[in-house]
Amino acid sequence: MDFSWLANPSYLAYLWQGFVNTLILVALSGTAGFVLAVGVALAQIVGPRPLRWLARGYTTVIRGTPLLVQLFFFYDGVGRLLPLIPGVRESFLWPVLRDAFFYGVLAFTLSVGAYVGEVLRGALASVPVGELSAARAFGLSGVQVLWRIWLPRAIQICLPTLTGEVILLLKSVPLVSTIAVMDLLKAANLVRDETFLVYEPLLLVAGIYLALTLVLTTGMRALEVRFPGVKPGRV
């Protein structure tokens, strides 16, 4: 094992950038994906029939195909068709649409939306109807019931599962290295190409992920304990 390359500032810069990008990717697509998931879950429970079918179809397709295929579908498939639309190249969005990072966030957001949407659908459906009726009886509007009672109760029910989903999201981040986004795996690959060390950079990144997972699990566990009425999950 030869870790002397860690003294080289340019390799450390790769790793740092990969680390920061990983966190940004998780934060962005985790947040956007959660918002999408709430919409997808609600569409399947209270939405009109066409919307229900749309949500069901979206969930089935995303959960039935590999994330890697989705990533390439958006980056190579959709991404190469976009410049053909007149005006896209000149639009202010072009710098974003040209960036592989955007497609990573897009694919991950859609993925989180589908997987977490399924989790939330089950949780929303298992909130006792009496609580919702009670809220209505107190004169809360439909939106207020959702915001104050239904959604918080559902999150309370599925929080341990959500922890698992966050970890799954973190663990899918290395996929973006295949579309040339600088993440930890991409950094390890660059170090390998320049130093011809195969195992050391990969093992270091594996160690970083091990630590990140540990921090995330402990953090979410602390959250679960503080959240009233949640039984902390077994990890």
Residues that bind other proteins (CB under 8 A): 60-61, 63-70, 72-73, 76-78, 80-81, 167, 170-175, 177-178, 185, 198-199, 202-203, 205-206, 209-210, 213-214
CB of 20 to other proteins, least distance (A): 17
* Shortest separation between residue 160's beta carbon and other proteins, angstroms: 14
Residue 40 or 184: which CB sits closer to other proteins? 184
Closer by beta carbon to other proteins, 127 or else 206: 206
Q: Which is nearer to other proteins, 64 or 86 (CB)?
A: 64
Q: In the bound complex, what is the minimum distance in angstroms from residue 27's beta carbon to other proteins?
A: 17
Residue number with CB closer to other proteins (211 or 222): 211
Residue 124, by phi and psi: left (phi above 0), alpha (psi -120 to 50) or beta? Answer: alpha
Question: Nearest distance from residue 77's CB to other proteins, in Å?
Answer: 4
Distance, in Å, from the CA atom of 178 to the CA atom of 181, rounded to the nearest integer, reads: 7
Beta carbons of 220 and 229 less than 8 angstroms apart: no
Q: Token digits for 20?
A: 């920061």
| Rounded distance between C-alpha atoms, residue 55 and residue 11, angstroms | 44
Angle, CA of 170, 173 and 178, to the nearest 5°: 165
Q: Tell me the C-alpha distance between 165 and 167, whole Å.
A: 5
